[in-house]
Amino acid sequence: MKRTKQDEGEERAVAAPSSGGIAKKRSARPAAAKKPQTDLAAPARPGRQGDSPEDSQADSLAEPASLASSAAVADAPPSRGNEPRANEPGAIAARGDKPVDLVACQERIGHTFRDESILLAALTHASGAAHRLASNERLEFLGDAILGFIVCDTLYRIFPESLEGDLTRVKSVVVSRETCGRISEQLGLTEFLIVGKGLAVNSAVPVSVLSDLFESVVAAIYLDGGIEPARRFVSRWMEPEIAQVSSGAQGANHKSLLQQLSQRDFGVTPTYEVMEESGPDHSKSFHVSAFIGERRYTPAWGRNKKEAEQRAASNALVELRAAGVGVADAGRRG
């Protein structure tokens, strides 16, 4: 059939929308390909149903601030919630799962802390700390040096005629583990000691732990208040020890003094018992306690039984003096 010009015009008119639609789809593909570049430059949050193009654009502009806020949160230390650290208020005391009474502890020590966290760290044994740096080990290291300095300074001043060897012998006994541990017991610091479950189940705290506790408290006082408060604390507890030990170094017999006091005030003679032995047969050390009746006093180590008994008697005399028993009178009456 012969086609007229009118028929060709109508066919072109019908085809125009279709070809126009195809052109639009082809031109839309490059625009769709560019969208990931926008996403990489500023990641947008997942779209919500009903968001307009203006909302999407506002969200994209807000993303940098949101990302900065998220980075700040990521850099912050993780929250522990209500779980107390071993060196923070709320930690648990070893002697009965009760909160540490820092007020009572400070009264016992005789020093009010401006920073109680230092005191709490001094009371925290490694077994009860979140990590080793949170325990009292570093404080014990410092306290040992401070204690030694104060005792050496005291000995140097009050014994101007004594030789270095004599001062060293007195100092070694005064700052010994046994002496420091005994003072911790007399202060009642075990009531505030923070330890892990392994130590908490035991009825007795090792002497080494008590000794470290005393030295840690010395360091804590020094860090909180300076050398003078630390000196007052050490002098209050160590000067009686110095007097007792120096009298022994000058020839006093602690066993004789203890016997005189015991017979005078209690009507019995002291006895001595070896609690423990250590070392090879040719070089044994002995851990001896003095007894007055049924009362056992803090034991002491010696290189032989005689030396250990003298030191055990010295420990008993110190404890009796702290209890108000007249040790000096017993010596004069002998």
Strand ranges inside the chain, DSSP E: 271-278, 285-292, 295-296, 300-302
For the chain, the C-alpha Rg in angstroms (whole number) is 40
144 catalytic per annotation: yes
Residue 292 to residues 46, 178, 204, 220, 321: CA-CA distances in angstroms? 83, 20, 21, 36, 14
Alpha carbon distance, N-terminus to C-terminus of the chain: 154
Contact criterion met (CB below 8 Å) for 230 and 221 = yes
Contacts of residue 318, defined as CB under 8 A and 6 or more positions apart, other chains included, come to 182, 240, 241, 244
Q: d(Cα 313, Cα 305) in Å, to the nearest integer?
A: 12
Give the position of tokens 């028929």: 7
- Catalytic residue, from 212, 215, 224, 309: name it: 215
- Catalytic residue, from 144, 178, 241, 309: name it: 144
Contact criterion met (CB below 8 Å) for 119 and 102 = yes
Transcribe 136-171 into DSSP letters.
SHHHHHHHHHHHHHHHHHHHHHH-TT--HHHHHHHH
277 catalytic per annotation: no
Catalytic residues: 144, 215
